Amino acid sequence: MMTLNLSDWLVGGVLGTFAVFCRVGSAIMVMPGFGDLMSPAQARLLFAIMLSFVLAPALVPVLGPLPTDPAAILLFMMLEVAKGLFAGLVVRMMMSALENAGAIISYQMGLANAAIFNPQMATQGSLAGALLSVAGVVILFVSGMHHMLIRGVIESYNMLPAGFSLPVGDMGKLVVDMAAKAFLMGVELGAPFLVVGFVLQLGMGLLNRLMPQLQIFFMATPAQVGLGILMLAFSISAILSFWLVQMEDMLSTVFLG
């Protein structure tokens, strides 16, 4: 009959579960939806602990041999936290695409100076950006994409194995690529508003040249705001659908590919 001494149980059970919590918990804390300021800190912590205990039986065996020296254990846990933060940051960066699109839309609507607190980015942002960011989180949970986010954290053990040093070069390249893709996606989402805004400004400029005595500013501002709100009302579903497809493609490529 096999016996398991206390030392083996501490290393294989408690320490392994805590290593899983370090990565899963740090990823949950920065992921959209789970790690937002709107979610209470206690709820986030309890969810991370619960998820770590659920995933520990499947993830502890893939951790490999765990260190026993205190200094080595501390370094191991710090690396796990860094890998979890990186996994959550990659997903969080895709949320910035909606904020970029919202900034473009607000500028074209003439509401660039009307700033509001954006709970997703934890900073001041545009009205349209805050609307799209909050709607994006709602769409993530309604569509079931949050399960894919959790799966992405699990699959990060294949991309960033436990016990190995951080591939700083590859991680930096991925962050730069994600930032570039988020910026490009924001421009693509706001492209219709750029075109309509350009045509509107061009028409107002020609009208001002034809009728200099006309107070064009008092006509342009209501038309700009009203047309922007109307376009946003009709296009917000297409904007969020396109963003959701791109989010799914990113998760499949980065974590599941």
pLDDT tens digits for range 45-75? 888 889 888 888 888 888 878 787 888 888 9
pLDDT at position 94? 83
State how far the Cα of 83 lies from the Cα of 77, in Å rounded to an integer: 10
How many whole angstroms from its chain centre is CA 10?
A: 35
Predicted TM-score (pTM) of this structure: 0.80
pLDDT at position 96? 83
What mean pLDDT do residues 7-23 have?
A: 76
Using the structure block, give the residue that is written with the tokens 């989180």.
137
Q: Per-residue pLDDT for 213 more than 80?
A: no
Convert the pLDDT of each residue in 140-164 to its tens digit.
Answer: 888 888 888 888 888 888 888 887 7
Average pLDDT, the chain: 81
State how far the Cα of 33 lies from the Cα of 141, in Å rounded to an integer: 8
Are 185 and 101 spatial neighbours (Cβ–Cβ below 8 Å)? yes
List the beta bridge partners of residue 217.
Answer: none
Q: Which of the residue ranges 31-45, 107-121, 122-136 would you say has the lowest mean pLDDT?
A: 107-121
pLDDT-derived band at 2, boundaries 50, 70, 90: very low
As a whole number of Å, the CA-based R_g of the chain is 24
Q: Which of the residue ranges 5-19, 35-49, 201-215, 241-255 would you say has the lowest mean pLDDT?
A: 5-19
Q: Per-residue pLDDT for 192 more than 60?
A: yes
At 40, list the tokens.
């209470």
